[in-house]
Amino acid sequence: MTVPKASPAARTDARGAGAAFDVEAVRRDFPILHQKVHGKPLIYLDNAATTQKPRAVIDATSRFYEHDNSNIHRGLHALSERATAAYEGVRGKLRRLINAELDSEIVFTRGTTEGINLVAQSLGRAIVGAGDEVVISTMEHHSNIVPWQMLCEEKGAVLKVVPINDAGELLLEEYETLLTSRTKIVSFVHLSNSLGTINPIKRMAAAARAHGAIVVVDGAQAISHLPVDVRDLGVDFYAFSAHKMYGPTGTGVLYGRQARLEAMPPYQGGGDMISSVSFKKTTYNKVPQKFEAGTPNIAGVIGLGAAVDYLEALNRPAASAHERALMERAIEVLTAVPGVRMIGTAREKSSVVAFELAGIHPHDVGSILDQDGIAVRAGHHCTQPLMARYQVPATTRVSPAFYNTREEIDAVGRGLHRVIEMFR
């Protein structure tokens, strides 16, 4: 299918600072949106699972394979030098994006999951002992539960869980009472993938630091919706994935404070993370290469750099306001549907609207909406303990991005009325 291209004027209107947000111009940057599913125009509202990719990211990845494909750091020939320069240049883009202090504080990973596991298995195993504590919350993704469970089981440590209220907000006073002198690590999500709740990271980090604890943040959802300033937030580690910020899959970032990273042992052994190797002794490379064993996803990192460029070229305040309006419209449309119960009604909320429809399983809701070309997520969203808190097996989740439209949100409402008619 031929995808219409945005004119330079349209692109300026959509992205220029101070200009109104032109969603139609932005949509022309995303080839996948211009197709039909089951004979209906695609309405993609599963952005919390993965975002679609603009042409700029697709082209950057293809261009690398067509012109610069080579392994990095090791080669003396032109292709290797170009690939290395492009790969390493992305660290600076990410440093600026999250206001890290140094390029070397940016560690490339396969995604948020690997970033959290890196901290748990490297730093966690070094500092957590029997009787020590790790604190997480009820709303965490499995990726921010299981690594800490594994660590606590291995070390004989205690995993503490911060409760939430019915709106999906952390009980901060209870969080602060959970912190003790034995608390070594706190790890919590910035923006919940199942509730949309935005947690007060700065306050939580300050409370943890007052007890000498290390602060780890799962930023997978927040990175594409909220401004992130790791120094202002006061965190030690912040992990996120490229594919949830319009970049490729299989690529991610772990920000870590330089002093923390330097004190940590390597997570994996292999090529590129070493300085020298003999059968008697191996010495390790400097940070961040110490944590990047083996050939990385070079094309993915270069695509991530293109995604950062794309986001920075947008009028981000206007894009955020557009996303906010879409979320509010989704709440309005869904609450008007008979039998809908909203899951997650926090005062500080973004990008995620989850619900259950009385008497109808979310999998059936998702399947029927798909017949109308509407892609939503139905399931436990890798947050089974959170589903248990709300006494539901699963929810249906609508997660808008800046390329979605009000008309697409309204189509979900019509689709739900069709679901109800089919089951009644």
Residues annotated as catalytic are: 382
Strand stretches in 334-393, DSSP E = 340-343, 353-357, 374-375, 377-379
**What does the angle CA 386 – CA 137 – CA 360 come to, to the nearest 5 degrees?**
10
Burial state string for 144-156 with b = 16 or more CB within 10 A and e = fewer than 16:
bbbbbeebbeebe
Query: Whole-angstrom Cα distance, residue 293 to residue 281?
Result: 17
Structure-token match 């594919």, residue found: 243
Token pair in block for residue 136: 């997480």
Q: Which two tokens stand for residue 120?
A: 């748990």
Contact assessment for residue 179 and residue 207, using Cβ atoms and an 8 Å cutoff: yes
Q: Name the residue type at position 278.
A: S
Q: Which sign, positive or negative, has the C-alpha torsion 151, 155, 156, 160? A: negative
Q: Contact at 8 Å (CB) between 419 and 360?
A: yes
Neighbouring residues of 381: CB distance < 8 A, sequence distance ≥ 6:
48, 141, 193, 194, 354, 394, 395, 397
Q: What is the bridge-based pairing of β-strands 158-162 and 183-189? A: unpaired
Cis peptide bond prior to 288, omega within 30° of 0? yes
| Rounded CA separation 413/333 (Å) | 6
Residues 6+ apart with CB under 8 A from 285: 272, 273, 274, 275
- Helix spans in 264-315 (H): 298-313
Q: What is the DSSP string of 99-140?
A: T-S-GGGEEEESSHHHHHHHHIIIIIHHH--TT-EEEEETT-
DSSP label at 39?
A: T
Residue pair 186/135 in contact by the 8 Å Cβ criterion: yes
